[in-house]
Chains A and B, each alone.
Chain A
Amino acid sequence: MPATPIAESRIVHHEHVPGGRYWSMVVRRGFTLRLVDTHGTANVSLLGYNPMNTLERYNMADTLKGQHVSRLTQGDMLFSDMGRVMLSIVEDTVGWHDPIGGISDADSIHERFGEARFQEHRNDFYRNGRELFLIELAKWGLGPRDLVSPVNFFQKVSADDDGDLHYSADHSHPGASVDLRADSDTLVILTTAPHPMAPGPDYNPGAVDLSIYRSAPVRDDDACIHRRPENARAYANSLIANCQES
């Protein structure tokens, strides 16, 4: 299923982020961030912060238990630790995004892919999620204390009856997309390093195309808000936080 086309007049920004890189921007309430997995091999690890108070941040546990899920897809929301909606998944052509797999680090990359230093490989050197997050977080005055479990878009990790974790390789497909509507102003920080459970030996993290576009008006029957009563209450809390908006 292809992504719904967005009229050019609604798009305010477009950017290509190669694999093994980082990106951040405040996505304002009223705008939507579309991620496109151009080659079907991307892992987009994403964190969200309230730019007015970065102590408020995307919270894995509240997002999962509030919606009784261990995966995220269309209709689900990313909740902050303050009971509010940061981002709503208004469209998804993949069906499962991973909120529990975590972030790759230098050791996990070295174990699976070996080593490739800048000295020999220039800008094709191997990067890891932790390093890229820390670099991008630093630009906003944030650091290791702010690095929490991200959502890994275009990736699938499931648990069986015994709780054993299983990573699904080749889960996404070329052109797969997910649309994240900002229901609060959200500082989005993302990296495109390999998923920590991705098998080796080829280090080839996928690229992502980003678009930011003006959201469609939020309708009374919005599918994300009405997915569960918890979602409606989190959305109501977000409206309160924005009640003095001019």
Chain B
Amino acid sequence: MNLKPSDLEPEDAVQRTVVPAGDWWMAEIRRGQTLRIVDVEGNEAADTLFYGLDNPQGEHYSAIDTTRRQGNVYLTTGTRLVSNNGNVMLTITADTCGRHDTLGGACSAEANQMRYALDKKPMHSCRDNFLHAIQESGYGLTKRDVASNINFFMNVPLTDAGSLRFEDGISGPGKYVEMRAEMDVIALVSNCPQLNNPCSGFDPTPLEMIIWD
């Protein structure tokens, strides 16, 4: 755990947006700008993808390149979020939660069927949010570009015996993670609507997105 609070004050921000549970948020973050994601009421999951603004179809956040480059599977202060082309997209500069997942992926109608029951298909999901957002966005993105994402505020421990567990969040009300863009990026966040597991404490709640110049 690498807890580090931020010096940035929300009143100095250039943009503040509350994202209700189950909604998606997409924004361009310019190089040098800082994005903070706030877990307003606690125990929320922020399923997050990044695309290179100059080449959204050619460059996106890569979970495996990020974890292998740092030699560790969890994201926290100091983690460089690396693209599929090996470039650093953003650096996590502050984190009051301490650990974030990037192997668990996003929920989808079909994965909910597999994981919980075949009749769960009609439930809302993060991948539906991703697909809706990219269809509306005009960046030319398609389902091909929906790569493995980050789950900010989610706790998915691995063991050296090869198991992977979904545990209760270690996040709490007001905890946040902050990252500085090292290139111009598009951020796409699904405020997870999952009601079948504890990733959102069975009660999805709002996130706040704050951007500083």
Contact = CB atoms under 8 A, between A and B. Distances in A.
Contacts of B157: 163
A60 B148 contact: yes
B27 interface: no
Interface residues of B, number: 45
B162 A234 contact: no
B114 A62 contact: yes
Contact of B148 (A66, A71, A148, A165): A148
A230 B114 contact: yes
A169 interface: no
A82 B68 contact: no
A37 B132 CA distance: 43
B152 to A, nearest CB: 15
B26 interface: no
A149 interface: yes
A64 B118 contact: no
Interface residues of A, number: 46
A148 B72 contact: no
A164 interface: yes
B57 A145 contact: yes
A165 B58 CA distance: 28
A62 to B, nearest CB: 5
A144 to B, nearest CB: 6
A149 B72 contact: no
Contacts of B115: 65-66, 230, 233
Given A65-B166, A145-B145, A101 B110 contact: no
Interface in A103-139: 103, 105, 107
26 contacts: A60-B105, A61-B148, A62-B114, A64-B103, A65-B111, A65-B156, A65-B164, A66-B111, A68-B165, A69-B163, A83-B108, A83-B114, A100-B103, A101-B64, A101-B68, A102-B64, A145-B58, A145-B142, A147-B84, A159-B159, A161-B160, A163-B73, A165-B73, A230-B114, A236-B118, A237-B113
Interface of B: 57-58, 63-65, 67-68, 71-74, 84, 86, 99, 103-106, 108-115, 117-118, 127, 142-145, 147-148, 156-160, 162-166
